[in-house]
């Protein structure tokens, strides 16, 4: 696949989230409070620090950071998601939501940021430019941070997810042969990738895991916020979600246990020169 087609596919999948804007905030899990406490500590953030968030979605990670007293500029590609974020963040006057892609965004003349961060969004960015663009947006000594909420499989975890794979296979949506089932603490460590850019140093990685319990309808609502499920044909969705409901109805409590994991990465900007201030872009659109 060419890099051009790769970006097109990535952009197409990214945009599917905008169709789920109304249910995204309620269905997606909250991140552990300890993760935010450690992020603040590792990034050495003081009250009033200036933050740039990439792929803010509906504000799942923004709200905890805003409550800690930071000034935040949030970028969100999906206009519907950005509109929901504006509503969710209306009580924080120091938060600005902009409907824009970080890959293309050129802000007004602003001072550089203390932290650039992305929660479950970093992997959607262009891998050829994301570190360089983050470096350019940061002050000397500023930090970049990212993490994702991923499915992890502890020893003795719920067997539901292995069992339901038969249905995914039936509808042609099975996992590839080389797919992994990571346990808590085994999510990929991107330290080498970060250091190889030469733009960041002092990489710190922290792992978190937590459990969420779902009944059939709340789990279906969660699945309907994932890009792969949003792109499914209607008949595939119907077959899969009916199977989820049937299997959970057979359980005494009607509930499954899903374990989530996150690998928080925080790295410090190397001092390779003067900070860059972007020129204003005429295409900028603010939702605030």
Whether 13 is in a domain gets the answer yes
How does strand 200-215 pair with strand 50-54? unpaired
pLDDT of residue 109: 81
Tokens of 113: 């940021």
Work out the pLDDT band at 104, boundaries 50, 70, 90: confident
Whether 109 is in a domain gets the answer yes
Span 66-83, mean pLDDT? 95
Whether 56 is in a domain gets the answer yes
Whether 156 is in a domain gets the answer no
Report the length, in residues, of the chain.
288
pLDDT digits over 133-148, tens only? 999 999 999 999 999 9
State the Cα–Cα distance between residues 20 and 118, nearest whole angstrom.
19
Lowest mean pLDDT among 11-15, 43-47, 62-66, 280-284: 280-284
Residues 6+ positions from 82 with CB-CB distance below 8 Å: 56, 74, 76, 97, 98, 99, 287
State the Cα–Cα distance between residues 201 and 272, nearest whole angstrom.
12
Whether 117 is in a domain gets the answer yes
56: domain CATH number is 3.40.50.150
State the Cα–Cα distance between residues 57 and 24, nearest whole angstrom.
8
Span 34-49, mean pLDDT? 97
Query: Which residue is associated with the tokens 């509930």?
Result: 255
* pLDDT reading at 99 higher than 60: yes
pLDDT of residue 195: 95
Residue 75 pairs in a beta bridge with 54, 98
State the Cα–Cα distance between residues 181 and 177, nearest whole angstrom.
11
Whether 225 is in a domain gets the answer no
* pLDDT reading at 281 higher than 50: no
Q: Is the dihedral of CA 191, 192, 193, 196 positive or negative?
A: positive
Determine phi and psi for 71, rounding to 5 degrees.
-90, 125
pLDDT of residue 20: 62
pLDDT digits over 147-161, tens only? 999 999 999 999 999
Specify the higher pLDDT residue, 148 or 5.
148
- 1: helix, strand or coil: coil
Span 188-204, mean pLDDT? 96
Residue 260 pairs in a beta bridge with 151, 210
Whether 44 is in a domain gets the answer yes
**Which structural domain, as residue segments, surrounds residue 44?**
3-150+182-211+260-269
Work out the pLDDT band at 107, boundaries 50, 70, 90: confident
- 78: helix, strand or coil: coil
State CA 179 to chain mean position distance.
20
Q: Is the dihedral of CA 279, 281, 282, 284 positive or negative?
A: negative
pLDDT digits over 198-239, tens only? 999 999 999 999 999 999 999 999 999 998 898 899 999 999
Whether 30 is in a domain gets the answer yes
How many distinct structural domains can be found in the chain?
A: 1
Q: How many CB atoms lie within 10 A of CB 8?
A: 12
């Amino acid at each position: 696949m060419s890099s051009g087609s790769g970006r097109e596919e990535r952009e197409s999948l990214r945009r599917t989230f905008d169709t789920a804007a109304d249910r995204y905030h309620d269905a997606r899990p909250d991140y552990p409070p300890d993760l935010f406490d450690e992020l603040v500590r590792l990034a050495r953030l003081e009250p009033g620090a200036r933050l740039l968030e990439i792929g803010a979605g509906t504000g799942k990670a923004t709200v905890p950071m805003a409550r800690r007293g930071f000034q935040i500029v949030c970028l969100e590609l999906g206009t519907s998601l950005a509109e929901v974020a504006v509503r969710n963040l209306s009580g924080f006057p120091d938060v600005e939501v902009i409907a824009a892609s970080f890959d293309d965004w050129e802000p007004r003349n602003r001072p550089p940021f203390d932290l650039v961060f992305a929660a479950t969004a970093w992997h959607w960015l262009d891998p050829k430019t994301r570190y360089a663009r983050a470096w350019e947006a940061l002050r000397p000594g500023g930090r970049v941070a990212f993490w994702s909420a991923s499915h992890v499989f502890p020893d003795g975890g719920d067997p539901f997810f292995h069992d339901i794979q038969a249905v995914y296979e039936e509808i042609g949506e099975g996992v590839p042969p080389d797919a992994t089932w990571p346990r808590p603490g085994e999510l990929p460590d991107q330290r080498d990738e970060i250091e190889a850019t030469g733009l960041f140093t002092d990489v710190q990685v922290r792992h978190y895991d937590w459990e969420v319990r779902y009944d059939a309808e709340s789990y279906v609502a969660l699945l309907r916020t994932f890009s792969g499920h949003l792109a499914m044909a209607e008949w595939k969705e119907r077959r899969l979600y009916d199977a989820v409901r049937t299997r959970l109805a057979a359980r005494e409590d009607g509930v499954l246990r899903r374990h989530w994991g996150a690998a928080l990465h925080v790295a410090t900007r190397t001092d390779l020169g003067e900070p860059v201030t972007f020129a204003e872009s005429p295409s900028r659109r603010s939702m605030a």
